[in-house]
Structure 1
């Protein structure tokens, strides 16, 4: 008998062989109706990648690790022991052992009983299963559920029905009795299942958890609250819909009253445990979750239950906002549980003040008083920042309404707000200065990107802007005095009082900016503030200081002023500071040289009257110094992957275009070097993106200027690409596919062997399981089809490529990518290569149309049919369609062309459809044959396409996602702008004007059938007739 080890090794090798062929080796006799039917995916991309590129076979190690586990998933002590052993290896320090274990677990996760085996392992005590192994098992179970719980588009169910039942039956109780780490993972798993199954397929989840509130056990209650919130959190941000509101109503009916009762009980327990620190912390921890659930359940709309019980909730919220206890004061810089509760209360009352103002009005004044007292008595320590920010946001929400401005218009109140709330929260604290030095990335994210909206300075800015809408002149006058005072103290003692100028700049920026966008910065300013005068008198001197390391925080604030007002300051004034910004790039401060790079980038992208204000001739003389300083930053410790620097390098490279060749000797080796470093240590995704974007630009520019340059890039880059593939660096693989596409398209003559050896790897079915790989791999396959279609056929990979199309065609998410691929094949492959496949390809398309029709698919299909009619002929198109079913072309006209042609968007696609259907109008079968009764219908559809606005309506219930709106690479932001295939017009140079082409085809028809077309035209609408007459006049042709 074979050992399980030998059996698995043979099965693994068999899978590898099938994967390499794309699962699609068909003989000609098998083609019809069976194209790539066996295109099946295997679960282990890692194995196939490694086998393809090296001799290392991790299947052998996986077999050693697993014993007989893969063959038998029953819950036995033997299998549990083996699972513990494999999980232990996933924590190994040995990468090969760890990878083999991870690959094996990926291989078996689709086996029945495997989720149950993991759940059973988690029930064992720590004497049997160590704590770290139970945590690893819980993480693996969560990830298994995340990957496989939702049934695939093609109906593939990777978790058996029985396993689903067991998991849902056991996971809640298991979560509640688990340790904190495991509880967190299982809570997330419940949330994932809940999003798919709740409430229709798991209706008892919320009622079951609500019952646990009666247990009186704070540990159980805490677990239930956290898990409930993980299920309901999405109510805060999901789009309104009837289904969503029905789900929320179901939750409210089963959960709102128990949650309210729990709030009352927790408040009562807090009063009874004022001297019990441990109990009080547990109670307040639960109150945080209660507040979060209140916010989630009230986010979409004000439920009737909470409107009826508003007094109960608001009474306790007010108590919590005023509550103090020395037992809950945290000793470190981390926010304590009391601050968390107060922060959540502020968030909740801000929601009510903003969305449900009328119902909340009776409670506002008391909460304003409580928030004011909170702000007046809270120290400047960093742990209170979020609470202070949210309290200020509540006051903003109240002040925004015109009828509430009376609460703030008193002169004394305004002065108090300025002195006690706004100014203290705008001044730098020691912790801010520490952040600037110790965590430059954190500072940049907070101050430049605005990533953290819950900061004191941000909240103070928002409050100033809200109050300025009501009292602009008074606010400008009051704060203007403070600004002058702070600038005066700085002028007297700049070394000691530089913080005052920082605050003054921040305050002027706040008062001046009335409207802004991420792309343009400030777009509307306070006319009472002269921003240009302030820039020239107080900003430029800081930038022109020759000591680039002088007072770095002040210098950064000055640069930020330029960034903020770049669009509204006179361009010449902004342009003056560019040489200073280039020099400031040499600053040792990471924040300063980051700000300088961002300023340069944004100034270079400024537009005046729709045109770039900075031209190539402006930048080229500075490019040598600019590249030197930018690349110099990347050599500094802590800035090796500075995304702002690399983004600016990309912008400069794009701007100077062909002048790059003067600096290629400096830039190209550095980019290759940075790529080598990234392979060893990828830290910042945005840096990586801009690195590859720059590399794309450089390849296009250099290869367009220097013969043989593509070969040099091949020699330098392919070893790096191979390392990325061998090490399975998933975040980088989509990028290298795009770069390889660029290089392949620039090959002259025969395609090098290095590219051809990659093709079998590219059509492996397993690779197409990764959503992030799909678009870049289609991009690369298009390059192969264009440059190496002959080799694709010679290597026997044509059907594998068609198998890729088949897979993409079946996916609602990726069907447009399938059309990109098949249209590329239509355009670039010799007609005879695909001739025997078209019937089958059309069958696949119609099958998908019948089973899962979407607007996006119909549009793509219409463009494809029309392009086919252009490349082959309309007669061949009709012949293929009618071969599938008698008179089927008539159904295509009635059910697709007439109702949906006008939904086709984009000039090129409209042109293709117009030309293809014009060809159909000229076909004898359509004009005088079996489809003559559709001739006028087709003509009207073509004219409407050319003359009427696009029809963007959707069938009831369909959520149409535009191709452009689909997240780049399905959730990953790694689509390279400069590596994209240019939108090519396949008819360019042949047909420029589709209206003229239509007229010419009509004239040809009339010449072949004299005196008949006039009667046909008389049957269409007057509007269409008028357009046709106009087309004929423009084309200079007449009807016979």
Structure 2
């Protein structure tokens, strides 16, 4: 315990964190280690930092090692049983900071074990509920950590069965506790300490209300809807000076409860409106009152956001729009709710100055930040959708009024113009505005005219308030789709100039908008080409790099502003080959940034755009930089990152190395640095993170394409097949195993695989028999067609049959009938279907087994499948790899983050066959010439539809 606690303590120091974590992971599967971690978390003798580090490590260990993809435990069975016995009472007794982490671990365990392998979980929780509010709160936190898993899930029979089981065991005690807690709150309204604890209980009960209703409204809740709604209404309007916080920025328990109630109201409006309809007007009225009386302090921001989201959901329903139609109501909504929540507050100004990156992330149109402005904008847009002309006319009166205030005294009344800009944008754009910009505008408003007269002058003004300059840039950002290429081209130099601003938000918003302008597409084609920005590209990249390096005091500061790096990436993707004049000096700068941020990779979005930028330079200028330059500036620094085991960077580094090696001419062989890398790439520890697998496979494939002979001569073929064996045994990685196997057969060849191919075939057949899935069956079928389609290294249709029949004569025919043919039409993608069509054509037309031999009885059925594959699934193939990057929806975690700039073409076993239908026709005609009447007889066994198709093709 002392050793583990010491390592956890070291992990708190950034300089020792990585080696400490690596040392801790050596204990991962040792019996008793998980219980030691829980003892540390529970020890009052240890510092809180050490206990929190233990809770975090325990949570992550559960995520990594509780079960494999098939649900089998990866930890010792005694530990599994002990953890489930001890974790609930432990969590209930912990301080809240630790409860949050252990709660995530409970949620992870419940994901795999509840309800079937943790049957006593809910009875155990219910048995602990009583009169002690602190114990009750611990129990309810555990329950919430389990039930909140349901919120984002798609409905399924298993999920609904789990919820039904929970409701049967939990809902009655839950309801009784809610009634009792409500009663005790009313009785103890003057005792602050007791009241706070009881309000925490009510807050957790409200969270659980949402959990239990998130998939469907349970019958119990429907039967008791009045009682539940009365309690929710009570706490929506509840106030008590004793428990109100004095802080302006920190939400108190009442704000949290009211926020969660508004989420429930939105859920019921959207999903259970029929059951909720009677209570709806009462809650709408209470919400109006709340919004018109609540303060502007930031502690209320999330509550205001959720309250407005509820009103927006009501406004979406046609039969409820009458609640908002009266002129006096509309005036009230705009004056008392919309405008106050769109007006810039002092706290917003402070954030603009003191935390500019957070200001930008919250402010960006299309972001998911829960701000007052975003919610007010969404509400106003919904009102415009339902009452177009009336709302537009009313809002424009306020817009003009604010502009007049500004014109009277620009220095003093700049906030009036800021509000006018937001109001105008809110009614000018129709519907939801995404990261792609405004798609539809309000026809009653002249967007371009407003920009020209009221917004554009602020772009070039040297005296205007920087917030108004940001408003002007944002206007271009939001309405870029409504501006012509000529107008955007005129704006670009102004935006480039604003990169020289000394204001963080101004230059960052300029970079964001430049990036978005360069990403504008029409008919799925980029509007801006290399020639449009070629003359400014070097200056633009230089300015952006200087802005990034200006913040280089720490790795965290260096990588703080992902928007600048994203703009660099977009410029490089736009200029492509035209980057050559500045690519050579840029590449080492980018790699130096990579090395610097590797110390603490704190911003995954920045890191992704950084590696995309490196990938773009390598891809489009790598040939000019040369192999020796790439070896010095890219390969060696990347190998150092691999050696340091920087987990977040490994998938990216592997992809960049793959791109570098792909530039090497195939005939020039394998560079020594990559030869030395092969054996380390097969180390099992490197394959444990799921995100590494696709990149590792990709690099091994390109190594095979350049150095298959090296793999054989260095005795690495057997370990490489061991990698395949592990991959193909995994349901989540089997496709990568079969893809790697294609490269092994294609480049290594049958001669070197003679002694091993039978074992490979046995492994695949065993997987088909014992653990088959539709996905595996389709991918296995494609692999067999791959073998049949290519003539490389003595492969081909005869070899494909031999490959399986060497296990047992006649197996190929059984596999073809039972697995391959039923899966053929499920093979996805034009590229893959072409391989399948060619492979199946060769099997049917070039092997005696199918033309006259033991499998000839399958010929007609197989040809029917082939005809259907060609008839319905052969669309025009696009072999190029386009880079139409739109990285707004990036998510980061254990999954693989693919670099678009290093996307390689898949291995094509039949590059000479561009038209599989024509190839099939030619093959069938040759077969007919060879066997004559026998083939005609086989064709007569086809179904009528296939015969007609062949007749149309001239066969």
Distance 1:585 1:258 in 2: 61
Q: Structure 1 pair 784/93, CA: closer, same or farther in 2 (3 Å)?
A: closer
**Corresponding residue for residue 717 of structure 1:** 634
- From 702, 706, 726, the equivalent of 1:783 is 702
Partner residue of 2:652 out of 719, 735, 739: 735
- Tell me, in whole angstroms, the C-alpha distance in 1 between the residues paired with 2:128 and 2:712: 65
Q: Distance in 2 between matches of 1:100 and 1:540?
A: 54
* 1:596-627 Cα deviation digits (max 9, x unpaired): 11211221122234432222221112223222
Question: 1:1005 matched to which residue of 2?
Answer: 927
The equivalent position to 1:991 in structure 2, one of 889, 895, 913, is: 913
The SS at the match of 1:158 is coil
Structure 1 residue 178 displacement after superposition: 3.1
Of 685, 707, 729, which residue of structure 1 is paired with 2:604?
685
Indicate if the aligned counterparts of 2:670 and 2:703 stay in contact, CA closer than 8 A.
Answer: no
Aligned pairs for 1:589-600 within 5 A:
589-600=503-514
Cα separation, partners in 2 of 1:974 and 1:122, compared to 1, 3 Å = closer
Give the conservation status (yes or no) of the 8 Å contact 2:833–2:874: no
Cα distance 1:411–1:156, how it changes in 2: closer, same or farther (>3 A)?
Answer: closer
Once the 2 structures are TM-superposed, how far is the Cα of residue 826 of structure 1 from its aligned partner? 2.4
| CA shift digits 1:718-742 (9 cap, x unpaired) | 4422432333211111111111111
More displaced, 670-679 or 379-388? 670-679
- Equivalent residue, structure 1, for 2:716: 797
What's 2:207 paired with? 292
TM-score, length of structure 2 as denominator length: 0.93
1:825-864 alignment, distance < 5 Å: 825-864=744-783
Q: Summarize deviations over 1:338-368 as a string: whole Å, max 9, x none.
A: 1111111111122112211121122122212
**2:860 maps to 1:936:** yes
> Structure 1 pair 909/497, CA: closer, same or farther in 2 (3 Å)?
same
Separation in structure 2 between the aligned mates of residue 255 and residue 661 of structure 1, nearest angstrom: 66
Comparing 900-909 with 236-245, greater Cα deviation is found at 900-909
Query: Does the alignment pair 1:446 with 2:369?
Result: no
Q: Does 1:754 align with 2:673?
A: yes
- Provide the alpha-carbon RMSD of the alignment: 2.4
How is 1:307-456 mapped onto 2 (pairs within 5 angstroms)?
A: 307-332=222-247, 333-448=249-364, 450-456=366-372
Corresponding position of 1:648: 567
Quick check: 1:516–1:524 contact (8 Å CA) kept in 2? no
With CA pairs under 8 Å and 6+ residues apart, which has the higher RCO, 1 or 2? 1
- The answer on whether the counterparts of 1:335 and 1:384 sit within 8 Å (CA) in structure 2 is yes
Q: Aligned partners of 1:330, 1:815: CA distance in 2, in Å?
A: 55
Find the counterpart in structure 1 of residue 196 from structure 2: 281
Shift of 1:592: 1.6
Would the alpha carbon gap of residues 357 and 133 (structure 1) be closer, same or farther in structure 2, given more than 3 Å must change?
Answer: same
Match status 1:479 vs 2:395: yes
Q: Check 1:465–1:87 CA distance in 2 against 1; reply closer, same or farther (3 A cut).
A: closer
SS, match of residue 1012 in structure 1: helix
Change (3 A) 1:118 1:476: closer
Runs of 4+ in 1 over 6 A off after TM superposition: 966-970
Question: Are the equivalent residues in 2 in contact too, given 1:810–1:848 (CA < 8 A)?
Answer: yes
2:140 to 225, 238, 245: 225
Q: For the residues of structure 1 that align with 2:577 and 2:3, how far apart are their CA atoms?
A: 62
Name the CA shift for 1:499/1:93 in 2 (closer, same or farther; >3 Å): closer
CA distance in 2, matches of 1:704, 1:310: 70
Q: List per-residue Cα deviations over 1:16-42 (Å, max 9, x = no partner).
A: xxxxxxxxxxxxxxxxxxxxxxxxxxx
1:406 & 1:173 partners in 2: Cα distance?
52
SS at match of 1:567: helix
For residues 238-257 of structure 1, what are the alpha-carbon distances to aligned partners after superposition, in whole Å with 9 as ceiling and x for unaligned?
A: 11011111111111111112
- Output one character per residue of 1:447-483: Cα deviation in whole Å (capped at 9) or x when no partner: 1154444321111111111211222111111111111
Aligned residues: 930
1:1020 is aligned to 2:935: no
Deviation at 1:762, TM superposition (A): 0.4
Map 1:623-662 onto structure 2 (within 5 A): 623-637=537-551, 640-641=558-559, 642-662=561-581
Q: For residues 227 and 336 of structure 1, what CA distance do their matches in structure 2 show? A: 21
Per-residue CA distance 1:175-230 (angstroms, 9 max, x = gap): 2233444433333322222222111111221122122221x111111111111000
Cα distance, 1:999–1:892 mapped onto 2, change above 3 Å: same
Q: Displacement, 1:905?
A: 1.9
* CA distance in structure 1 between the aligned counterparts of 2:581 and 2:54, rounded to whole angstroms: 56
Distance 1:370 1:298 in 2: 22
Aligned equivalent of 2:115? 199
- Name the residue aligned to 2:884: none
What is the deviation of 1:91? 5.2
**Residue 21 of structure 1 corresponds to which residue in structure 2?**
none
1:151 to 1:574, Cα distance in 2 relative to 1, 3 A = closer
Once residues 802 and 297 of structure 2 are traced to their aligned partners in structure 1, the CA distance between those partners, rounded to angstroms, is 78
Whether contact under 8 Å (1:653, 1:660) holds in the other structure is yes
Decide whether the 8 Å contact of 1:375 with 1:421 is kept in 2: yes
Moved more, 803-812 or 752-761: 752-761
Match of residue 808 from structure 1? 727
Which residue in the other structure is 2:475 paired with? 561
Deviates more, 1:315-324 or 1:84-93: 84-93
Range with bigger deviation, 827-836 or 641-650: 827-836
Determine if contact 1:874/1:916 at 8 Å carries over to the other structure.
yes
Deviates more, 1:802-811 or 1:199-208: 199-208
8 A contact 1:531–1:569 mirrored in 2: no
Alpha carbons of structure 1 residues 788 and 502: separation in structure 2 relative to 1, 3 Å: same
Please list the CA deviations of residues 46-92 of structure 1 after superposition, one character each: whole Å capped at 9, or x if unmatched: xxxxxxxxxxxxxxxxxxxxxxxxxxxxxxxxxx5555555555557
Structure 1 match to 2:739: 820
Rounded Cα–Cα distance in structure 2 between residues aligned with 1:517 and 1:392: 17
Alpha-carbon displacement from aligned partner over 1:382-435 (angstroms, at most 9, x marks no partner): 111111221222222222222212212111111111110011111100101111
Aligned to 1:56: none
Structure 2: tracts of 5 or more residues without a match: 876-888
Q: Deviations over 1:858-910 (max 9, x none)?
A: 22111111111123121222122222223222212211233221111222211
Q: Do 2:381 and 2:431's aligned partners in 1 also have CA atoms closer than 8 Å?
A: no
CA distance in structure 1 between the partners assigned to 2:844 and 2:420 by the alignment: 72
CA distance in 2, matches of 1:266, 1:503: 44
Question: How far did residue 969 of structure 1 move?
Answer: 9.3
**In 2 relative to 1, CA 158–878 (structure 1 residues): closer, same or farther, beyond 3 Å?**
same
Structure 1 pair 1000–869 and aligned structure 2 pair: CA distance change class (3 A): same
Contact 1:188–1:227 (Cα < 8 Å) also in 2: no
Structure 1 position 165, deviation (Å): 2.1
The match for 2:529 among 604, 611, 615 is: 615
The reply on whether 1:979 has 2:896 as its aligned counterpart is no
Which SS does the other structure have where 1:459 is aligned?
helix
- How far apart are the structure 2 equivalents of 1:579 and 1:231? 53
Q: How does 1:7-22 map to 2 (within 5 A)?
A: none
Q: Distance in 1 between matches of 2:216 and 2:22?
A: 46
User: CA deviation digits over 1:490-528, x for unaligned, max 9?
Assistant: 223222112111111111110011135535311111111
Q: In 2 relative to 1, CA 972–146 (structure 1 residues): closer, same or farther, beyond 3 Å? A: closer
Tell me: CA distance 1:750–1:896, structure 2 relative to 1, closer, same or farther (3 Å). closer
Cα displacement (A) at 1:114: 3.2
**8 Å Cα contact 2:378-2:432 kept in structure 1:** no
1:538 to 454, 468, 480: 454
